[in-house]
Every structure is written in structure tokens, then in C-alpha cells.
Structure 1
Amino acid sequence: MFSLPVAPLRVASIALAAQRGEIEQNAARVVARIERAARERIGLAVFPEACLTGGIGGGTSTSTSTRTMRRAQMKALAASVDGEHVQAVADAVERTGVAAGVGLIERAADGALYSSYVVCLPGGKRHVHRKLHADGQPHLASGDRFTVFDMRGGWRLAVLVGGDNYPVENARMAALLGAGLLVAPHASHETDAWMRRALPARALDNGLFVVYSEHREGAIVDPCGQVVAQRAGGDETISAELDPALLGTSPAHRWLDTRRPDLYARLAHESRAGMPSFEPRNAGARGAVAVSFAVVRRNG
């Protein structure tokens, strides 16, 4: 159920290139940026994927030795979402009143590894999103649920990490779950050009604000698909005040209300072998007339 927030929200996309394995140093840098965000009257600070631990992105080799080495490195880098470094971020959020989203390689209680994103809210609440699409990273498990929650001012947030933003269905689910703001952290710069084109489309199609944060790139997009702030490199913070009234003017909500879910059932099922990928339109021979013709060249 979608409802308009009752107050504006100032958000920031913060660039931060994590030093792999230097989690204590990375956490200290995050805390310093949160404190700076408080001086700039930011309500929500969005940091990149894996900004606490590093270790996401980089090489794409698929050799057995590289995969084994990468998995061992991931285990060495991983941390708990309840550990001291996430707690340091939560403490900074509590001191400053600035909500903050940070990423890490999570070591779960059962030993599984995830690329996870933790949003810490003033008052002590934390919301953890495990990346849904860990394709190309065989050492990481994939999450199994969407993360949508409410924060102050009546804002409902959704989190999609990195490749979660590529399938169009994920942003649509965020909108159907009532989100007005999509937090979209990323780690690698390899797909920045694609993200610059796709995120405005996701915002426009679903009537969402989008905040994108990567270690160099960043963008804030309004629900009409307009990029209101952008970072094309460097480490500066970009920010914008989100006006809830824009959510009400986005044409997407009219189209969301007129959806025909009965027509989309096949989206929820894998295609079966031999099943046509379209609805066939058969033409019968009833009333057909045989026609023949010839092309004749005349010498004039």
C-alpha cells in the first residue's frame, strides 16, 4: 500500500573506496563521513556496496585456482552484521541522527557468505539486505527476500544491491511493496554507463526516488526519471532534498494502479522446453484464394 511521506528527506550518495581487509580503517572513514553529513543536515547517507570490508568487484577470472583463492580471501574479509564495526556505524548514527547504509561481506551464523547491506536508523533499528543476485561470484550465497522498511517522515525504503538492480522485476517489486525510495549501492565501476541509463528508467517506470552510490560514481534520481544530482568521478558527496510531492505527480502510479496481473503469470514461472515464447496467432485456409504471378521482361 503506497502512501506519501509527510516530510522532505535530504539524502546523500557518498563515495568511499574501501581498502580491502582494512575494516577498522574503513569503518573509521565511514564514521567520519557520517559526522560530516550531520553538519550538512543529511537525513540518510548511502555508502557503496562492501564499503566496510572491500572484496566485491575487480577481476572476472573463472579459473578453479582463482575461485578457490577468492573464496579464501572472502572468508578472511567477512564480518558479522552484529560485529563491532557495524556497531561503530550504528553508534555514529545514534550520535548524529543521520541514518546510514553500509555494505560488507557478511559471514552468517551458518558460515555462508553474502554481500550484505545494513541500514542503521536512529533509535537502534537495523535492516539487513542480502544481495539477491550474486551471479558471477560463486563464493557468495544469494539472498531470498526483498528488504522494504519505514523510516522517519513516513518514507518507505527498499534496498537493491549491485546486480539486484539489473532485472526490471526487482524495482517493480519494491514499488509494489510501497517503497518511495530505492537505495542502490554498487561496488564495481564496470557497469557504470549501464547504470546511468537504467536507473532513471527504473525511477520513471516505478515512481521511485533512487539513490545510487559507488566508489566513484553516484546519482540521485527523482520519480519522473530526472537526474537531480550526479557524480562522475572523485570522492565528493552529492546530495539532494527529496520532495514527497513528486511521488504523487509521477505518472508511474497511475500505470501501477491499472496493471493486469492476470496477464503476467508466466513471469513467475520458468519457461518449459517446447513452450512457445509468444501467444501464437494461427491463420486458417478458410476462404483462401490461390494466386500466381509472373514477372515478364519486355524488350522495347
Structure 2
Amino acid sequence: MVRSDPYPTTVEQNLAKKLALLDQMKDDRPDLICMTECMLDANCYPSYEERAGNALAMDSVPIRALADKARELRSYLTFSFFENENGTLYNTAVLFGRDGEMVGKYRKTHLTTGEYDMGIVPGRELPVFQLDFGKVGLLICWDAWFTETARILAMQGADIICVPLNGDGVPHHAEHVWPARAFDNGVYMVYSAAYKGSPSSIIAPNGQFLASVAGESVHQTVEIDLEKRNTLCPHLSVGLAIGEGKVLYFAERRPDLYSRYYTPGKRD
């Protein structure tokens, strides 16, 4: 997990700062690195129009430099940036593999008003990616405020959900809701925030904060065991579920019941 304030005012300066932060992690030999949302251009342009006009292509020099760093570190690396694909704009979280090649990408599905003003187009998929140690899902900032997004990733087998974000403007939201996402779905949640007013945190499937940092640009490495049973309570269930959230919730959920009350797009 890497948190970094995007204080430089050019993409080149931001890139240099991010590469230097990644270099600091070499001795940790991380398997997976989660960086922040739109980390290359946050303070670079005075208007939405200029920022949109300078959105980066996937094969641009800054993105390739970060892919090369993933290869150098032999780590999986994910972060978000404003992507221009043939004239269409997205807020994209890309996931590079240990070889520097793209494993996959996720496009932010729940946009802010500012992103709509920029002409950003929302994504339409919630993919999960198989890595050499487990399955990883991606969300971006505002996406994680919606309970359905993390649940859908967990239902597809995600062991870890990485959330690059600019920041959380409601302090108690990070304190209470972030661990709830982990607890409710039996997954590890990794939040990496850009701004020093927001924490960056790694949270276990039982809702426990394994690490949380704030302030200036820092990184935190945590070793987790994806084979470890994360039992919530042995008396919560019987049979297959045996109290482990990742099994319990999905073995005993009642979609036949919920569908009676849920119509997509409907508000009462």
C-alpha cells in the first residue's frame, strides 16, 4: 500500500515522485502494490477541460514507466489514472503483472459530478483477476461507498479488493464503513488515499485494521496468509459455513428472497 500526496504540478514531477516511492519498497519484496487514484495529474491543470484534454493513453510514457517499475520490482502494481481510449475518457485502475504486462483494468463505475463534468464515461463491468497467489478485485474511491460493488467482487471469488482513492471526506466513514466492507464480504480490503487528510488502510476479513497510515507520502507493507481461516464466530451457522464470512454469507444468502424487493434502478 502506497499513499502519496500529489503536490507536484506536472505529470513528469508526479511520475518521478511515484517511481521514487516504489524504489523505497524494493527491500520489502511486495507481491501486490496498491497506489492512489488519478495520481499523475491531480494538481496539474486549472480546469476540468484541460485535465480531460490531457488524459493519458494506456501506452503513454508515464504509464509504461510504471509498468516497467512493476517488472523491475517483480510485483503486481495497481493505480488509477484518467485514460483516453480513442477519444473516450475513463477513470481507469490498471493492474500490471510481475512481468510489466497488463493483467487487466477496471473502469470506475460510480462517478462524481466533477468526473461527469470532465466527460468521463462510467465503466460497465466489475471484473476479478486471477494472480499467482489469489484473486484480486478493483474499485475506485466512490465505488466503494456502494455495498453492491464489493459484494459482487467477493461473489466472484475475490480474496483482496484494492481501492485507489483520492480521499474520504467523512472521517468516521473510513473508521466504520471500510472495515464493514471487509467484514461483510470476508475479504481483505486495501485502501490507498492520495490526500493526507485521509488514511490509507489494510483491513482483514474480520474487520481488523492490519495497518493504517496518514500524513506525508509513505508506504506500508503487510504480510497476509490467504489460506488462514477467518472465522467470525463458530456458532453463527451450521454445516458448510462454519462461521467463516467468506463461506457463510454466500452459502446462506437468499437471492430468492431479496429479488422480491429489489428492482434495478427503482427508488421508492
> Structure 1 length normalisation: TM-score?
0.76
Larger radius of gyration: 1
1:208-250 CA distance string (max 9 Å, x none): 0011010232100001110011113232212211111335535
The aligned runs of 1:271-282 (5 Å cut-off) are: 271=266
Q: Which runs of 5+ in 1 are unaligned?
A: 1-12, 57-68, 278-300
Does the residue aligned with 1:25 lie in a helix, a strand or coil?
Answer: helix
Q: Which residue of 1 aligns with 2:96?
A: 120
Contact preservation (8 Å) 1:222, 1:246 = no
Q: Which whole-Å CA distance do the structure 2 matches of 1:247 and 1:164 have between them?
A: 27
Does the residue aligned with 2:6 lie in a helix, a strand or coil?
Answer: coil
Runs of 4+ in structure 1 deviating by more than 6 angstroms, as ranges, are none
Residue among 140, 165, 188 paired with 2:167: 188
Q: Which whole-Å CA distance do the structure 1 matches of 2:214 and 2:41 have between them?
A: 23
Higher RCO, Cα 8 Å, sep 6+: 1
Contact preservation (8 Å) 1:188, 1:214 = yes
Shift of 1:268: 4.6
Structure-2 change in CA distance of 1:21 and 1:264 (3 Å)? farther
Letter in 2 for 1:163: W
Q: How many residues align?
A: 247
Residue among 174, 198, 221 paired with 2:203: 221
Q: Which residue of 1 aligns with 2:176?
A: 197
Contact preservation (8 Å) 1:158, 1:181 = yes
Shift of 1:255: 2.1
Q: Which whole-Å CA distance do the structure 1 matches of 2:158 and 2:13 have between them?
A: 33
Contact preservation (8 Å) 1:27, 1:85 = yes
The aligned runs of 1:1-300 (5 Å cut-off) are: 13-19=1-7, 22-54=10-42, 70-109=47-86, 111-123=87-99, 124-137=101-114, 138=116, 139=118, 140-153=120-133, 155-215=134-194, 216=196, 217-246=199-228, 249=231, 251-252=244-245, 253-265=247-259, 266-271=261-266
Q: Which whole-Å CA distance do the structure 1 matches of 2:160 and 2:205 have between them?
A: 9
Letter in 2 for 1:42: P
Q: Which runs of 5+ in 2 are unaligned?
A: 233-243
